[in-house]
Structure 1
Amino acid sequence: MNLRLHVFFGQFVWLIAALNGKTLQGVPGYGRNLVIKALPAIEDYQSNVYEVFMEPYLYDLSRPAYTFSGDRSQKQIDLAAAPRSLPGLQAIAYLKADEDSGVTGELVFTQIVPNGPVTIEGNITGLVAGLHGLHVHQSGAIQDNCKDIGPHFIAYYGRHGGPRDHIRHVGDLGNVKADEGTLAVKIVDHLISLAGPRSIVGRSVAITKGEDDYGRAGTEDSALTGSSGPAVACGIIGYMN
């Protein structure tokens, strides 16, 4: 019923514009396409998943196409060849220390094409040298600390994994490696999104005290969090534009 109403409304708007001798260029949403993406089935785990949503207003697809490297089906965009003023969507998270951890930072999320990969760039300071897990969590509740941000953002997959695993939480972004001083972060992930069913906007991103084992340890904690320990810093993800 809802689909029929949308179709009827679109035809009604077109008819009014045509009768008035006007084009549809001024109609909000004109030129925005429905984006459909299929996530393949995983044997003995889940069937095919199909996502359908409309391109957000902030995407500018009228600019020249971007350079793709490698297999085009993987949508690996060559960011070095992209213009400095990027179209698409951007979000930002300001990491705040949990209690007395002293860890702070800033992460910027950029998605150039709808349902394409998301680039995460930024800086984190105050981390102990070594590997630390980076995850997106279900909730954006960080009023006082990182205790109420909930589990990892799951969406479709119910088991913890690494960023390149076929089965993983959407929010599983792997590990970052800290040395002395400021850690420069640059990650490209193909599962998180800034719009649609896998959108991370409004949720929180957190960095953990220990290393993420990607669920390989075979314990209950490993299957849920990668045994990476409590969060030492977290921040709400919000749109920049």
Structure 2
Amino acid sequence: MTIRALLIAAALTTTPALAQDAGTPAATAPAATEAAKKPAPKPGETAKATLKDAQGKDVGTVTFEQGPAGVLVKGTLTNLPAGEHAIHIHETGTCEAPDFKTAGGHFNPSKKQHGVMSPKGKHEGDLPNLYVPADGKVQFDVFAQGLKLKSMFDKDGSAVVVHAKLDDYHTDPTGDAGGRIACGVAEK
């Protein structure tokens, strides 16, 4: 189970590099220049979300730590149904039970299609599926390449949502992940 999660995380962190067009040095230089002009996120910045289920029961926490090329996302969750579940960062920092629809859609400031398997994806809020054993407890560490912690704290914030089903990694806009079973608002 841990090996599978590590392999998925490795695939997710390398997918953008595989999808990039090498092009000519002249074609890639303007993009590099534009990236250099933007202020870099501060490595070490952190945030945290405490997740609750539809009945208001604590499900666990997810933490975020900014790195030079993205955000390290770590979680310790309990009391989840066994099986595979999608987990995503959502665009609005509101978690009203029982359906958590107030969290809005997936966090997607660059307006891409959903899924790491989509040629037009991925959302910045797309994360690998969780594999929850029979005891309902899961720990995970994933790296969200390209995500900037600062961008999660726009005027309406962001939330972390666990879904009833797994993410198929390609169906737009949600990965056919089903209902929302847990939610937590990201806070600094």
TM-score when normalising by structure 1: 0.56
Give yes or no for the alignment of 1:94 onto 2:47: no
CA distance in 1, matches of 2:119, 2:79: 29
**Superposition pairs for residues 225-240 of structure 1, below 5 Å?**
225-239=174-188
CA RMSD of aligned residues (A): 3.0
2:107 touches 2:125 (CA, 8 Å); kept in 1?
yes
CA distance in 2, matches of 1:117, 1:157: 18
2:128 touches 2:142 (CA, 8 Å); kept in 1?
no
Alignment partner for residue 224 of structure 1, among 154, 170, 173?
173
2:165 maps to which residue? Answer: 210
Structure 1: give runs of 5+ residues left out of the alignment.
1-39, 42-47, 60-86, 216-221
Q: Offset at 1:96?
A: 1.1
| Percent identity of equivalent pairs | 29
CA distance in 2, matches of 1:170, 1:131: 21
Q: Offset at 1:143?
A: 4.0
Amino acid in structure 1 at the alignment position of 2:104: G
Q: Offset at 1:117?
A: 2.4
CA distance in 1, matches of 2:109, 2:50: 23
CA distance in 2, matches of 1:105, 1:193: 23
- Indicate the structure whose relative CO is greater, using CA pairs within 8 Å and at least 6 residues apart: 2
* Structure 2 counterpart SS, 1:158: coil
Following TM superposition, where does structure 1 have runs of at least 4 consecutive aligned residues deviating by more than 4 angstroms?
A: 48-52, 163-166
Alignment partner for residue 82 of structure 2, among 124, 129, 146?
129
**Superposition pairs for residues 65-214 of structure 1, below 5 Å?**
88-99=44-55, 104-113=59-68, 116-145=69-98, 146-162=100-116, 167-181=121-135, 182-195=137-150, 199-201=151-153, 202-214=157-169
Q: Offset at 1:164?
A: 9.2
Q: Offset at 1:144?
A: 4.0
Q: Offset at 1:211?
A: 0.7
TM-score when normalising by structure 2: 0.71
CA distance in 1, matches of 2:119, 2:71: 17
Task: Report how many residues are paired.
Answer: 156
2:15 maps to which residue? Answer: none
Q: Which of structures 1 and 2 has the bigger CA Rg?
A: 1
CA distance in 2, matches of 1:189, 1:131: 19
Structure 2: give runs of 5+ residues left out of the alignment.
1-19, 22-30
> Residues 116-149 of structure 1: CA distance to partner in whole angstroms, max 9, x if unpaired?
2211112111122211101111111224441211
